[in-house]
Structure 1
Amino acid sequence: MVMREVLESLKRRKLFACLIGFGLMVFFFAVTVLFQNYIHIEAKGGKVESFQGLSSYELGDTLFEDSDWKEYLNEPNALERVRRFYGYLEENLGEKYLHIHTQSIALSPGNVKWDEKLLHGHEDGDADKVKERSYYKEKEGPYYAFKAVQMNKQAFDSFTIDVSEGEALSPEDFDHNNNPGVIPVLLGSEYQSIYQVGDQLTAEYLFKDFQLEIKGFIPSNTFVSEIYLDRYIVIPAQQFDAPVDEEEWDFQRKHYFNLINGSIYSAEGKGVIVGKLEKIKTKSDFPHIMILGVDDSPLENLFAAIQTHIQWVMILAGVLFVGCILSISILMMTKIQDNYKNMSIHLISGATMNQLLRYVLAEVLVLVSIPALLMILLYMGSFSFVPPLYLLLMVMCIFILTLLSAAPIYLQFRKLPISRLLKRAE
């Protein structure tokens, strides 16, 4: 009986019902967007949570002058010593050593349609200059400088880079001897419409030819140390066997000197880190390294941005929530005033005020529930997985919206002049 009355009321005031329904759809859409935003923020916070309370010790080699560089390279086993030092950094330091180095990589994109925003220097307005510096090599090319970031194994493990398609990098992908001449890579999300998993790209890294094999694509908005990877080629730092010729030797000395310029993350004081560093310098016979600086709050800007973002999400949700409650209450109370005649007929027919109140509250519940259910169905169609937390959030929104919207309606009902309503029906 009540539901039939509610449906008839909604049909009589279609425009009124549509306006409230549209406002609620906007509200529930905003709640859904805010929920997804909050999930993303929480995931971002989880990835950097392990860095809280750690200090960052930036490392750099001490071969500042060309003469120092040439002198060291003329020493016996120069390359082997720096290779050994990098191995100790990765495996024997006892602290978290991260090498995350943004750079460009010369890439021949092939016969595909690509966007210049993928080029190194695009954000600085230098994309046109980069395109002008393209070059051909032995009838191959043109080669362009694309954005890339090289990361060692500990960096991948610390930030847990997932894939939306394909496979994540495995420990074997950091050892170049498993597939000589080929470097497995992950591509940012903006490459997903250009290439496919398994494609091989012709590239040149430190003036040496390689094939980049696409293992997978990274979800959008994935970040590493404040670097969003959507437009980047992510390269695992390769480990090579001893060089067999002069050309390979020249390549590896540049490669390994690049890898030792990273950062140590630790909760220990500087004295402890200096002591550990001196031990591996002695073991590897590579004294040409030093701590360039100490940051007691690495990723501080990112932590602050996450907290600020969460606060604004909560404020926006609160404003939308209050606005929606006020809108429903005002519109329903206006409708009650406009429906005095119908209410009078119900009263003269034997209905009670409590029955009329239940009828109005049922109408509020229906008005709130239908947009919410539509939004849940839309969410289910857009995402493969619907978190139980999202369903709980929507049910709570329905309940609280209905409850708070009903409060002023209930107060208005208590003030309704029953005798005047009955006179209207006579």
Structure 2
Amino acid sequence: MAAIVYFCVVLVLVVNIDQSNLEVNAVNHFKNKNLYQISDNLYGETETMFFSEKNSVDILNDFVTGLAVNFESEYYKATWQPIGISNFKGDVIFDAYYESGSNKSPYVVNNKSYKDIKSIQLNSNVFDMNQVQISVGKKFDNDDYIFDKYNNNIPVILGSELDGVYQLGETLDILYYRKEFKGEIIGFLDSSQKIMTTKEPETILDRYIILPIMRFTEVPAITKENKIFVIASLLSQTNGRIVTDATPLEIRKKLDEIATKANFKEFSVIGANGIAINSIVRMTETNRSTLFVCVIAIFTISTILFMYTTAITIRKNVETYKVLLISGFSLEQIYKMVGYKLILTSVVGSILPIIPLLFIVQNPFNLLLNYLFAVLISSLLMLVIITMFTRRTFNRIDIVQKLKG
């Protein structure tokens, strides 16, 4: 029993260290980086005048394309934007405005009843910079970020709390910027996945539906049905962040070149407030350091307690060892026997905690390897210490002398 409890503690420590490393690695992409916020100036009269121009949508699309091409690995876009889901199966906690207490009533579009649900639309850099992990299924392909005017199907990835509410491969009727889509579920996120969004420096995705931000290779002809979708999509992609090592002067120069080529001037670029991001980076690193200290302390205490119970067992079995010596066993054979018993106890004790791990954690291979490595190191450490302790105990007891009488 002591071995099972001990290795359960080891498993819990390994899981926590693994999660801590994931969080630190994710925020490291933002550490000591310069963040620049791009915002369009299209509001009020300026917006009305701009979109009154015949080629305004093409101009905006050229600017968005220029951002995506010139800042391919640096342009960061994660937009908090509720989407309508028809006949949503989930609980009220998934409502877009649940936390604020201002949930909206369902509404009908084209004879379908929709409900506004939490959703974030993001580009591929968000996955990479935050190291977002998928528990089952797959991430978006490169083609998923390109709008196909001939296809109304789009892939979606669901947060961990929606796993079980929906299944992989199921489809959702989606209303996104007033345009209807069929969303195919291609994956589910691991629990506690976090990203930086325009609204918050840290957003947990457990209750969100994730959509790819779709770029237009060619702007579709504007109709009454798609006008809101096309314009809203372009404006959304215009407002993003650049995460880079470049200086403000370098960024301004590159943006001016993009704007001149696209003939789009209605935007501003400012150094985004990095205080919150840097605070999260420091806090995450501090949490990991604190966790490591706690892990070492708990591991040390657990190891001492386990060895203490083993030592008590050895003392209690002295009479048995006397019988073995009388039967012709040598002290070296008894030492080996104690070692073999410890190894067997460790094997049995370490296997049992793996069983719930296999059922609870999806894709547990890496976690399992880390756990087995920790088991191997701790078992070898205890084997050496217990063997030394056994020899010392036998020397103190002077078991040969006791046999004489």
- Asked if residue 117 in structure 1 is aligned to residue 93 in structure 2, the reply is yes
Q: Does 1:236 align with 2:212?
A: yes
Flag the 1:262–1:354 CA change in 2: closer, same or farther, 3 A. same
- 1:393 aligns with 374
Report if the CA contact (8 A) 1:51-1:298 is conserved.
no
Q: How far apart are the structure 2 equivalents of 1:94 and 1:372? A: 46
CA distance in 2, matches of 1:280, 1:303: 32
Equivalent position amino acid for 2:81 in 1 = Q
AA aligned to 1:26 is V
Q: Deviations over 1:254-275 (max 9, x none)?
A: 2211211110111011111111
Q: Please state how far the C-alpha of 1:115 moved relative to its aligned partner.
A: 1.7
1:61 aligned residue: 40
- Report how many aligned residue pairs link the two structures: 395
Go from structure 1 to structure 2 and tell me whether the alpha carbon gap of 1:125 and 1:413 turns closer, same or farther (over 3 Å shift): farther
Do the aligned partners of 1:104 and 1:146 also contact (CA within 8 Å) in 2? Answer: yes
CA distance in 1, matches of 2:372, 2:58: 58
Amino acid at match of 1:121: Y
Whether the aligned pair in 1 keeps the contact of 2:14 and 2:371 (CA below 8 Å) is yes
Give percent identity, aligned residues only: 23
Contact 1:28 1:372 in 2 (8 A): yes
Using a 3 Å threshold, how does the CA distance of structure 1 residues 179 and 222 change in structure 2: closer, same or farther? farther
CA distance in 1, matches of 2:305, 2:125: 53
Q: Which residue type is aligned with residue 140 of structure 1?
A: K
Instruction: Give the 3 Å change call, closer, same or farther, for CA 346–265 of structure 1 in structure 2.
Output: closer
CA contact (8 A) 1:59 1:290 kept: yes
Contact 2:6 2:306 (C-alpha < 8 Å) held by counterparts:
no
Deviations 1:290-319 (A, max 9, x none): 123334577434433442343344334323
Residue 203 (structure 2) pairs with residue 203 (structure 1): no
Deviation, 1:288, is 1.3
Equivalent residue for 1:288, pick from 259, 266, 275: 266
- Matches of 1:351 and 1:95, distance apart in 2: 69
- 2:396 aligned residue: 415
Tell me the distance in 2 between the aligned counterparts of 1:67 and 1:406: 84
Q: Which residue of the partner structure matches residue 146 of structure 1?
A: 117
Q: Tell me what 2:109 maps to.
A: 137
2:252 corresponds to which of 274, 285, 289: 274
Deviation at 1:100, TM superposition (A): 0.6
Cα shift at 1:420 = 6.7
Q: Which moved more, 1:289-298 or 1:278-287?
A: 289-298
Paired residues of 2:83 and 2:116 also in contact (CA < 8 A): yes
For 2:320 and 2:62, locate their aligned partners in 1 and report how far apart those are by CA, in whole Å. 89
Change over 3 Å in CA distance of 1:27–1:121 after alignment to 2: farther
Structure 2 counterparts to residues 8-407 of structure 1, below 5 A: 22-64=1-43, 66-93=44-71, 96-110=74-88, 112=89, 114-122=90-98, 124-126=99-101, 129-130=102-103, 132-141=104-113, 143-156=114-127, 158-159=129-130, 161=132, 163-177=134-148, 179-225=150-196, 226-240=202-216, 241-295=219-273, 299-339=277-317, 341-343=319-321, 356-375=334-353, 385=365, 388-407=369-388
CA contact 2:73–2:125 (8 Å) conserved in 1: no
Counterpart code for 2:107: Y
C-alpha distance in 1, partners of 2:400/2:369? 50
Q: Which amino acid aligns with 1:385?
A: F
Q: Which runs of 5+ in 1 are unaligned?
A: 1-21
- Equivalent residue letter for 2:172: L
Task: Say what the alpha-carbon RMSD is for the aligned residues.
Answer: 3.2
Which stretch has the larger CA shift, 341-350 or 218-227? 341-350
**Which shows bigger deviation, 366-375 or 377-386?**
377-386
1:18-74 alpha-carbon deviations (Å, 9 max, x no partner): xxxx2221221222233233334334444444443421101112245x233323333
* CA shift for structure 1 position 191: 2.3
Unaligned runs of 5+ in 2: 197-201
Larger-gyration structure (1/2)? 1
Contact 1:55 1:295 in 2 (8 A): no
Tell me, yes or no, if the aligned pair for 2:123 and 2:212 is still in contact at 8 Å.
yes
- Provide the rounded CA distance (Å) in 1 between the counterparts of 2:127 and 2:310: 56
